[in-house]
Structure 1
Amino acid sequence: MLSQLTNLFKSTKETPEQLFLKEHALSFDVEKGAILNGMALNELGFRLEYFSNRKLDRFDDLEKLFRIAPQINEKIDLELHSQRFVERLGNTEENLKELKQIIKVLNDYYVKFQRPR
């Protein structure tokens, strides 16, 4: 009886990965891909494609995103600094900062839980 209760409490403890996903409202769907704060990130693929110089158009490949994130962030920073936003993509200062935050959360997740050690 005591061991059954102990096993029950052990199984309800969240892993560090589960805590991270919960804290950042991040989930992964087979069809939609990564979802952050209720937003399917692949819907922003057009922006990712532009800032990655057509190397990525979806947020599914976390390893590749991690490798080219410095280039993406640099290009975003240049656009933010110049305040000349690409109108056809609907870029604004707010959504570019949001894109940088999305990339940061996905990279943090990749580094902590997916990257081979």
Structure 2
Amino acid sequence: MQLIPVYRITVFVPPADMDALKAGILSVDDLAMGDYREVMWISSPGLEQFRPDQAASPALGKAGELSAAPTVRLEFSIPRDAQRLQRLLREGVHAHHPWEVPAVFVDESLFPLPTRERAGR
């Protein structure tokens, strides 16, 4: 087993915008992990809540009002490379997400990549 240092990126997105966001992310990076490409984890349903300040330009709701919207949790990982991460966030996530300030979280983690010499394979 090899432990690969990765960035784990979590993005919350409205269900109607999930496919466009996935396509935007994959247009920037193939999200390869071992012998697999386009590796993503999707969890649903969820609810995102926010109250925009007066200076905000919300896509949903009004300044000062509490808003809530259905959301899907999309997660994916890439090897730890700060430039790759910045490009993916800028050109893949922010460029294709409908919110002014998307809920995006980046964690440093380890991905246990099995070696090919696994029993029974």
State the TM-score, normalizing by the size of structure 1: 0.24
Larger Rg: 1
Structure with more of its chain in helix, by fraction: 1
Higher relative contact order (CA 8 A, sep 6+): 2
Structure with more of its chain in strand, by fraction: 2
